[in-house]
Amino acid sequence: MILFFEKFIFKRFFLVSALIGVLTFQISTPVAFAIEISEAARTVPLNASGDPITLSEQRISNGQRKFNGTCSSCHLDGVTKPNPDVNLSLESLALAVPPRNNLEGFVDYLNHPTTYDGQASLEELHPSKSRADLFPKMKNLTEDDLVDMAGYVLAQPNIVGRLWASGKPGR
User: Average pLDDT for residues 104-126, to the nearest whole number?
Assistant: 96
Tell whether the torsion through CA atoms of 130, 135, 136 and 142 is positive or negative.
Answer: negative
136-141 CB contacts, 8 Å cutoff, 24+ apart: 137/69, 137/70, 138/70, 141/66, 141/70
The closest alpha carbon to 67, from 158, 129, 146, belongs to 146
Q: Residue 134 phi/psi, 5° resolution?
A: -85, -30
Q: Are 118 and 110 in contact (CB under 8 A)?
A: no
Can you give the pLDDT at residue 69? 95
pLDDT at 1: 59
pLDDT digits (tens, 9 = 90+) for 64-88: 999 999 999 999 999 999 888 889 9
Question: What is the per-residue pLDDT across 3-51, written as a single tens digit (0 to 9) for each?
Answer: 665 666 767 766 667 667 666 666 655 554 457 999 999 999 999 999 9
The separation between the first and the last C-alpha atoms of the chain, rounded to the nearest angstrom, is: 57
Within 13 Å of residue 118, how many CA atoms lie on the same side as its CB? Answer: 12
Domain boundaries, the chain: 1-30, 43-163
pTM for the whole thing? 0.78
Which CATH superfamily hosts domain 43-163? Answer: Cytochrome c-like domain (1.10.760.10)
